[in-house]
Chains A and B, each alone.
Chain A
Amino acid sequence: MSQEKEKLIAELVNKGLDGDMDSVNACEDRVTRSKVKAMIMKIKKGSLDRPQMPVSLSDTPNESDDTGKTDDKTTEDISQKIKNMLLDNFPDETDETGQDGHMYVRPDKWLDIATWLKTESSLLFDSLQCQMGIDVGEDILESRYNLHSMVHDHYLEVRIRVARSNAKIPSVEQVWRIADWFERETYDMLGIEYVGHRDLRRILLPDDWEGWPLRKDYKEQETYHGIVVPKMKEGWD
């Protein structure tokens, strides 16, 4: 076996063990693939030590280990640029934890920031593409906004994290009108309260539904108007 092949196997085994079985499956040489799989099995059983991860030798597309954001460079540039601008305009409002594709904002002045994002002539984020809520665990809920500018054609993802105990975020429904229904939906599903929303009701579920279904600790109510609510099954059974 050549040096190169050994290296490749070692690399794939490491990837497979890290959960990236796709790159293993994408390997075109069947012999190599089966060897890799056998090795992984052995390592999992404990009969073999994990090989050293070799220095990267190929640049196959399977190798990228980014966060999934494959947007072109301009997106990252713009988010960096905005972050700097934001720091100038609203000091203390951004979190430094934001990564390339997105930025974190503190909830307190979100309405002002949103208005600024929409009206600032070099940004002009006039379109709210998507707004979603997510339960990231550790008692933290996140509200994410995918913004897009029709004029400049650039994107930005803004994330706001709040604690469950105080899940309050200023509403931007009067900045982008579509946020009206998006925020109602997030409220419906995750119970994030959008302060200043003029019509914050449940939108998809009935008004008297209990609980916030998309929170990770959601428990269905036992009965609803005398109807037994069927239990959701775990996984696929």
Chain B
Amino acid sequence: MGLVHGEEMVLNIGPQHPATHGVLRLQVRTDGEVVSQITPYMGYLHRCFEKHCENVTYEQVIPYTDRCDYLSSMSMNFGYVVAMERLMDIKVNERVEHIRVVMAELQRIASHLLCTGVFGLDLGAFTPFLWALRDRERILDLFEFTCGARLLYNYMWVGGLSHDIPVGFVESTFEFLDYFEPKIDELENILAHNKILVERSADIGVMPKDIAISYGVTGPNLRASGVKWDLRKNDSYSIYDRFEFDIPIGEGKKGTVGDCWDRFYVRILEMRESVKIIRQALASMPKDGDVHQSLPKKIRPPKGSVYARTETPRGDLGYYIESDGSPIPYRLKMRSPAFTALSVMDEIAAGWLLSDVLAILGSLDIVLGEIDR
């Protein structure tokens, strides 16, 4: 492509554009439809997360983490409390661990549903998006049932949870899983094996292993490139080591390993794995246990620092917390997975057509709230 060179044009995709999933500006240089360079400009959604954290107490940070990745708030909470508990050396009881895992995996399904749906939408298929949202809605109902909020939960607290799960939650969740499992096949059938979608995404935007690792790409994007790396197994935080599940990796079934189709398909496979984990966690959840048992009265971690990572739907979420022994964090850094995923854009998307660039952007599954923080 691009043998005949014409005059180059600079095109701003965003900050208001249907395909940028938020307020992101991609400045692209195009020669006709062929894109030669992509420069992302972020910061439109910058809310000074890290600066705010230096002014509020440790427990007040949790609602801010919700608002960073608003599509997977539970996982953001989870990452923070794991880091804090590691810093303060708190052990939470079994019931809390189980509930956390269930919530995080439900959140993973919800987030992946949105991602796969939006990926279809970026390629012009509107219906799968609404199907995905319909199922996501049921997960949000479960969350609302648990903590009253549908998007920003503030559910996981350092040393426990804000509420115990309500009566009937386990049954409703099982009911949802029974309903949901056939729906994954439905979504897979309408999208993954659709000839047009395969044509549009296979062999497009291939991200080789070494590039992915060098750019710090993590999560499903890294696994789609064929690296079997999942913190739930490799780092086994919380109680993930007790559950049986596979780590799906990209195999290049329709094209090359690490193409858009792989990134999309890995997420569908991961939803199945999450369903498995939730089933096991719900089955082995202890019937009693106080979710406030290890809740410290005042959070005053010892002097020191911790870097803890957890696996969110978008990849490795790291919190680097530096404590000076006061109830206010001295410095808190969030290593956000979408930030690193976006940085690889120019590397893998230059040279493709304009439509492909947006397909690649959709397959990376970025959330601007977390990139800009």
Q: Which residues of A contact B (CB under 8 A)?
A: 19-22, 25-26, 61-62, 64-70, 101, 126-130, 132, 134-135, 144, 146, 150, 153, 157, 176-178, 180-181, 189, 202-206, 213-214, 232-236
Contacts and interface: CB of A to CB of B under 8 A. Distances in A.
Contact of A178 (B91, B296, B297, B340): B340
B86 interface: yes
Contacts of B51: 213-214, 232
Interface centre among B88, B216, B306, B344 (most CB of A within 10 A): B216
Contacts of B339: 181
Contacts of A65: 302
B252 to A, nearest CB: 20
Interface string B138-169: 00000000000000000000000000000000
B234 interface: yes
B265 to A, nearest CB: 22
Contacts of A233: 55
Interface in B309-330: 309, 316, 318, 320, 322-323, 325, 328, 330
Nearest to B321: A68
Nearest to B372: A204
Contact of B55 (A26, A101, A126, A232): A232
Q: How large is the interface on B (under 10, 10 to 19, 20 to 34, 35 or more residues)?
A: 35 or more
Contact of A203 (B42, B87, B303, B328): B42
Contact of A129 (B90, B91, B216): B216
Interface in B290-314: 294, 296-307, 309
Give the interface SS of chain A, mostly helix, strand, loop or mixed: loop
Contacts of B302: 19-20, 65-68
B275 to A, nearest CB: 28
Contact of B301 (A61, A68, A202): A68
Q: Which 5 pairs show the lowest CB-CB distances between chains A and B?
A: A178-B216, A67-B304, A68-B304, A132-B333, A130-B335
Contacts of A25: 296-298
B193 interface: no
B56 A236 contact: yes
Nearest to A174: B214
A26 B88 CA distance: 12
A204 B89 contact: no
B307 A129 contact: yes
B304 A129 contact: no
B26 to A, nearest CB: 14
Contacts of A126: 210, 213-214
B331 interface: yes
Given A176-B214, A177-B347, A232-B55, A22 B43 contact: no
Given A178-B214, A203-B42, A66 B309 contact: no
B307 A181 contact: no
13 contacts: A22-B88, A22-B297, A62-B89, A66-B304, A68-B306, A146-B335, A177-B214, A180-B343, A202-B43, A204-B373, A206-B43, A232-B55, A236-B55
A178 B89 contact: no
B238 to A, nearest CB: 14
Nearest to A206: B43
Contact of A127 (B213, B298, B305, B333): B213
Contacts of B60: 236
A189 B50 CA distance: 10
B57 interface: yes
Contacts of A203: 42-43
Contacts of B335: 129-130, 132, 146
B227 A204 contact: no
A132 B320 contact: yes
A130 B300 contact: no
